[in-house]
Amino acid sequence: MSRIIVALFLVMASTAASWAQGLSPSSWRSESGALLKVVRVDAGGAFSGVFLSSPTNPCPVVPYDMAGGVRGLRVGFRTSRNWTSDCSMNAVWSGRFVSPTTIAVRWVATEPGRGVRIRGNEIFHRL
């Protein structure tokens, strides 16, 4: 019985690892049209790239710096735009892989200097 449990655990762990490897340079589009471009991924699961806001956003298709990490099926990243006063926003995104090509996340965005918080959910699909 313990061998079956160990085997099941190994299958689950390898599946989670293969999903995380799916972030290796890739592009993801949210259901609202935002674009997440992962440019760099390291062996520890850290990644970075650029986030382009949704075309329906008050600041449409604006680039934001993006950095985050993957741990098992969990994924989290931050987006920020602090180099200019127009459309500056910081957001924290956290969620999980639903499948190797789908990520479900929740986000909290704050506008620097104003403390205004906006919350939401998003689904990203790999392109």
The pLDDT score that the predictor gives to residue 9 is 44
pLDDT at 51 over 90: yes
Dihedral sign for Cα atoms in the order 111, 113, 116, 117: positive
Residue 95's pLDDT band (cuts 50, 70, 90): very high
The DSSP annotation for 55-121 comes to: TTSSSTT-EEEEEEEEETTEEEEEEE--SSSTT--EEEEEEEEEETTEEEEEEEEE-TTT--EEEEE
pLDDT at 101 over 80: yes
Q: Model pTM greater than 0.95?
A: no
Structural domains of the chain, with CATH: 2-126 (2.40.128.30)
What rounded mean pLDDT belongs to the chain?
A: 86
| pLDDT tens by residue, 54-73 | 999 888 999 999 999 999 99
Dihedral sign for Cα atoms in the order 8, 106, 84, 51: positive
**The two structure tokens encoding residue 95:** 């969620």
The pLDDT score that the predictor gives to residue 8 is 41
Stronger pLDDT, 1 or 45, i.e. the higher one: 45
